[in-house]
Amino acid sequence: NRLCEFYGSSLIGRKQAACAFLHIRQKAPIYIREGILLFQSIAAASSQRIWINYWRVKRLVKECYQTRFVFTDHSKLLTDMEYRSAIMQMRRCLHYSYLLTIRMNQLSIENSAGEDYSTMNQRIKNNDDILFA
């Protein structure tokens, strides 16, 4: 929650947004900022809930009823999360990331189109020459 609040929101708010965006009810990935997209797991050694950054996972390894996460820095983490559940969470993160990228690109296009339009209006008001292709 402190990490979410540092970036201007609450954990609950980000969970609600992800659930609405993905049309799910539970186990929502949490987008913090570019490069940090988290999902929950359970550490095998302590049975504590931990957050895993989707962008840092290099590979998943199935080990009986557990899953070993291998990260981009070559560190490893054994969890009590079933392999199938880990795959599902990774897919949710991929889907969420894809949808957010599309949304951000749409907003960027809309903003740049709006700027071009307002610039053109300003030039018309200033009686500048405008050439249309």
pLDDT (tens digit per residue) in 7-44: 888 889 999 999 998 999 989 999 998 899 999 988 77
Rounded CA separation 98/7 (Å): 21
pTM tops 0.85, yes or no: no
Supply the pLDDT for residue 39: 95
Over 50: is that where the pLDDT of 129 sits? no
User: Concatenated DSSP letters for 64-101?
Assistant: TTEEEEEETTS-EEEESS-HHHHHHHHHHHHHHHHHHH
Supply the pLDDT for residue 43: 74
Supply the pLDDT for residue 42: 81
